[in-house]
Structures are given as C-alpha cells and as structure tokens.
Amino acid sequence: MKKVGILGGTFSPPHIGHMVMAAEAKFSLGLDEVRLMPNADPPHKKAPAANARQRARMAELAAGGCPGVAVERYETDKGGKSYTVETMEALTEREPDSRFYFLIGGDMMESLSAWHRIDDLLQLVEFAGFKRPGYGVTSKYPVTVIDAPVIELSSTFIRERIRNGGPFSHLVPPEVEQYIRKERLYGS
C-alpha cells in the first residue's frame, strides 16, 4: 500500500517552511510521497490574493525542487469551496491502494473538533501534526506529532514583505520568486 501525505493550504505563496514540513513528514512517517494540495476557495478564509491557477502553479514550482513532493490539484481543478472530508472521499475512491496521512500544524490540532464531518474524515486519513510556537500538541483525536524543525514563517508575512518592497528571495524557492515577479503578484 502506498503511503501518501497531503499538506493542504492556500499556498499564497508556498515557502521554505512548507517544503521543510513536506520533507520532514516524508522522512518521519516513511511516506512514499507528500502532495501539496492548494485549495480553490478556502471555506474559512477570505479569498487569497493569487487565484487558484496561480497558487497551484507556484506549488508545482516549489515541489519540483524537492524529491518525493508533488502537487495534488483535485481542489483547484474542481473549483469552489472544498471540505477536507469530501476531498479525501474522492481521493480514496480514486486511489484505493493508497493510505493517506493528512498533515496539519499545531494550530489545527486543537481545532479538529470543529472540522466538517470530522468523524467521517478520521475513517479516511491518519492525522500527523507539526509543533507550532504558541500552540499545544494535544487533541482529543489521534494525531501523530512530527518532531521537525520549527520555522516561524507564514505566507502572510511574505506577502507583506513583498508589498512593502522588501527582500523575499530567501523565503521562497527560486522558481516561486521568479513566478511572483513575472506575474506581478502581491504588489511585486
């Protein structure tokens, strides 16, 4: 059975912290691959500054430099709002010989009870979480905690840095930086 990690998010933009998480999850959990999965229209956030096509492309560019990391375009291809349980039902049906691990940050470990159809989701995936400053690592649901370097970096920080004309090339993979500049994203 193939072991696949899914790291969901807006990826607006994907950054080195995402890539460290993907690589560390692959190593720690013995995964065959980790897929970055940009959402099309996040149900709990305002619309991202870059559209779904642009965010999926940036995720592909970021993944291209990291062995064993790929992009899952299910949600961006589908469009609209997506809930994790519905996406994982579709992926499980599409890939019955894969075992899925859903990768989350420490901020999400504490809020799993609020996830849409969490009990159904627990039948489809195993959760694995990363420590995050300011958040505990406890959950009433089973979550494997991944011991990995903590990089305090967010896409919000990077977007602000770009908007303010500051340097950001050290925060994102080089191909992502080039794409941001070419597409003139985030006020670059």
- Helix and strand totals (H; E) in the chain: 8, 6
What is the set of domains in the chain, with CATH numbers? 2-150 (3.40.50.620)
- pLDDT digits over 123-182, tens only? 999 999 998 777 767 788 999 999 888 888 999 999 999 999 999 999 999 999 999 999
Start-to-end CA span in the chain (Å): 44
Tell me the C-alpha distance between 53 and 135, whole Å: 32
- pLDDT digits over 77-130, tens only? 999 998 999 999 999 999 999 999 999 987 788 889 999 999 999 999 999 999
101: Cβ–Cβ under 8 A, 6 or more apart, which residues? 3, 4, 5, 6, 25, 29, 31, 125, 126, 127, 128, 144
Looking at residue 44, its pLDDT comes to: 63
